[in-house]
């Protein structure tokens, strides 16, 4: 298969790229700097989002497009400028992918557009599945809703469209190194109340699930990329401590996080319990369904260590 990835040099994009190449697929990375990317018989890079570029002229016989591109939501604070970049980057890249699909003579079979469980809003008591509707009105939920609405335009072009609603992706990149840092110094503990839900996925499972979606025509619309076993933040922290053989004792109060991070602190002190009903119905076989085994695979077999 020929699979095009936007955001192929990011945390998840790199893992996905290696997974697809190992499976024997042809991979094209959409990038602003094609010259910086390695090229092989299986892998090519095509420039886009720059004046004068026409990536559609170099994309032939595309089977699937995966859009992981967009400004990172991480950072010290969500300033107005940061929030504007988060929204604009997602609308710009997704809009360009819709334009590409329109121009391609042979349409891809599927568009997998990154999304997030932030769509559902925050709750300590509710459980959300792909059938759950969102009544949330916070920044993350509004951003995800706009993002999905733009990507849904691919449906009108006859392309199966999937909104991959990612939970917290655990791996050597992303949020986990920051979360584990206090444990390295022996001062780990609850973030906020510890009662908030963490709906998570190991990065290897996230990559495998994207390929699973490509290979499963029955999957369309929202798709929760999480494990069936979300955990409370307290259990999550205690498991990190157990794996690293470090104490879990010093809490970080909600008010301190609010002072440090502003609105962005909501990502840490709030959460949602998300169940991947569609993955379960299609019998996806998780590599790491259990939080302790998932964290062991990352923290004990990677550079994120307690030393």
Q: Give me the number of domains the chain comprises.
A: 1
Question: Model-level pTM greater than 0.75?
Answer: yes
Relative to beta strand 200-202, strand 221-225 is unpaired
Report the SS3 class of residue 110. Answer: strand
- Nearest-angstrom CA–CA distance, 261 and 17: 33
Q: What is the mean pLDDT of residues 154-174?
A: 96
Domain with 162 in it: 2-299
Distance between CA 18 and CA 182 in Å, rounded? 31
For every residue of 256-277, which 3-state class applies, written as one string? HHHHHHHHHHHHHHCCCEECCH
Instruction: Give the whole-angstrom CA distance, residue 125 versus residue 136.
Output: 15
Q: Tell whether 304 is covered by a domain.
A: no
Residue 171 lies in a domain: yes
Domain membership flag for residue 256: yes
Mean pLDDT of the chain: 94
Structural domain includes residue 305: no
Asked if the structure places residue 306 within a domain, the reply is: no
Contact status, residue 210 vs residue 16, Cβ threshold 8 Å: yes
Beta strand 231-232 pairing with 197-198 = antiparallel
Q: What is the CATH number of the domain that holds 208?
A: 3.40.50.720
> Could you tell me which residues are beta bridge partners of residue 30?
6, 46
Tokens representing residue 174 in the block: 């992303």
Q: Give φ, ψ of 43 to 5 degrees.
A: -125, 130
Report how far residue 281's alpha carbon sits from residue 168's, in angstroms, rounded to the nearest whole number.
21
Predicted confidence at residue 258, as pLDDT, reads 85
pLDDT tens readout for residues 82-116: 999 999 999 999 999 999 999 999 999 999 999 99
Q: Which of 289, 282, 276 minimizes the C-alpha distance to 132?
A: 276
- On whether the CB atoms of residues 57 and 35 are closer than 8 A, the answer is no
pLDDT at 307 over 50: no
Q: Which secondary structure element, helix H or strand E, spans residue 43, and what is its range?
A: strand 43-47
pLDDT at 67 over 90: yes
Hey, what are 284's tokens? 């996806």
Quick one: average pLDDT of 60-79?
A: 90
Contact 235, 224 (CB under 8 A): no
Angstrom distance (rounded) from CA 183 to CA 187? 5
- The answer to whether 249 and 189 have CB atoms below 8 angstroms apart is yes
Measuring CA to CA, which residue among 68, 169, 170, 154 is closest to residue 115?
68
Least confidently predicted of 84-98, 157-171, 174-188, 291-305: 291-305
Segment among 58-72, 73-87, 115-129, 292-306 with least mean pLDDT: 292-306
Residue at token pair 């920051």: 178
**Which tokens sit at 183?**
């444990």
Question: What is the pLDDT averaged over residues 51-62?
Answer: 93
Question: Is 290 inside any structural domain?
Answer: yes
pLDDT number for residue 306: 38
Residue 114 contacts residue 67 (beta carbons within 8 Å)? yes
Residue 36 has a pLDDT of: 72
Tell whether 307 is covered by a domain.
Answer: no
CB atoms within 10 A of CB 276: 25
Return all residues near 288 (Cβ < 8 A) that are at least 6 apart.
202, 204, 205, 227, 294, 297
Cα 13 to chain centroid, rounded: 9
- Asked whether residue 114 is assigned to any structural domain, the reply reads yes
Q: What is the arithmetic mean of pLDDT over 290-305?
A: 83
Beta strands in 138-189 (DSSP E): 160-166, 168-170
pLDDT, position 302:
57
């Amino acid at each position: 298969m020929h699979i095009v990835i936007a955001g192929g040099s990011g945390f998840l994009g790199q893992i996905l790229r290696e997974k697809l190449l190992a499976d024997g697929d042809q991979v094209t990375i959409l990038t602003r700097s094609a010259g910086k990317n390695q090229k092989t018989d299986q892998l090519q890079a095509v420039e886009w989002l720059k004046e004068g570029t026409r990536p559609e002229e170099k994309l032939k016989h595309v089977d699937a497009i995966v859009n992981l591109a967009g400004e990172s939501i991480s950072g010290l604070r969500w300033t107005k400028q940061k929030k504007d970049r988060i929204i604009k980057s997602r609308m710009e890249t997704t809009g360009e992918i819709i334009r590409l699909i329109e121009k391609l003579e042979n349409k891809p079979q599927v568009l997998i557009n990154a999304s997030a469980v932030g769509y559902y809003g925050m709750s300590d008591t509710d459980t959300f599945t792909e059938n759950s509707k969102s009544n949330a009105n916070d920044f993350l939920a509004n951003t995800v809703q706009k993002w999905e609405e733009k990507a849904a335009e691919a449906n009108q072009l006859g392309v199966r469209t999937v909104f991959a609603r990612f939970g917290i992706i655990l791996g050597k990149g992303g949020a986990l190194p920051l979360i584990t840092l206090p444990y390295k110094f022996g001062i780990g503990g609850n973030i906020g109340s510890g009662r908030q839900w963490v709906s998570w996925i190991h990065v290897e499972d996230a990559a495998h699930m994207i390929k699973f979606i490509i290979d499963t025509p029955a999957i369309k619309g929202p798709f929760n990329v999480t494990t069936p076993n979300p955990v409370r933040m307290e259990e999550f922290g205690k498991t990190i401590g157990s794996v690293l053989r470090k104490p879990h004792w010093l809490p970080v109060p909600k008010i301190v996080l609010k002072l440090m991070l502003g609105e962005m602190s909501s990502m840490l002190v709030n959460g949602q319990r998300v169940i991947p009903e569609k993955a379960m119905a299609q019998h996806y076989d998780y590599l790491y369904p259990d939080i302790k085994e998932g964290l062991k695979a990352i923290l004990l077999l990677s550079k994120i260590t307690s030393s």
